Amino acid sequence: MIPINPPCIHGGFWFIIFAGRVAMQIDDKLIAYLEDLSCLALSEQEKNRLTGDLREILDYMARLGELNTDGVTERSHPFDNVNAFRDDEARPSFDRELILKNAPVRNNEFFVAPKTVE
């Protein structure tokens, strides 16, 4: 692909715009930024592997961007399911006295628990 815009800097990182898509430049500066952001200390071998992995991911994403998606409905989930929640209706539950009879400390109809927030 031929760049249609000159390289630009955004947030300190180089981007090259190809035919309306942005290709991010994977370099040592980006790897150092990601290392710092994730609070990791990577060896040189791990940095090299991460660089290669990120390039592969971005190349794959670019390939996906080339797919013809005309007429394909946008989706956030692969299934057509809608929420299958039941109606919120009061139903019979356990007998309160039966549940509370083993409570080490109780206050009428409630468990008493140690305070956890000051």
Asked whether the predicted pLDDT for residue 103 surpasses 60, the reply is yes
Asked whether the predicted pLDDT for residue 27 surpasses 90, the reply is no
Mean pLDDT on 70-92 = 82
Model confidence at 45, pLDDT cuts 50, 70, 90, reads very high
Model confidence at 5, pLDDT cuts 50, 70, 90, reads very low
Domain ranges of the chain: 8-65
User: What angle in degrees, to the nearest 10, is found between the helix axes of 44-65 and 28-37?
Assistant: 100
| CA gap 95, 2 in Å, rounded | 73
3-state secondary structure of 10: strand
- Rounded to two decimals, the pTM is 0.47
Tokens of 59: 């190349």
Higher model confidence: residue 40 or residue 75? 40
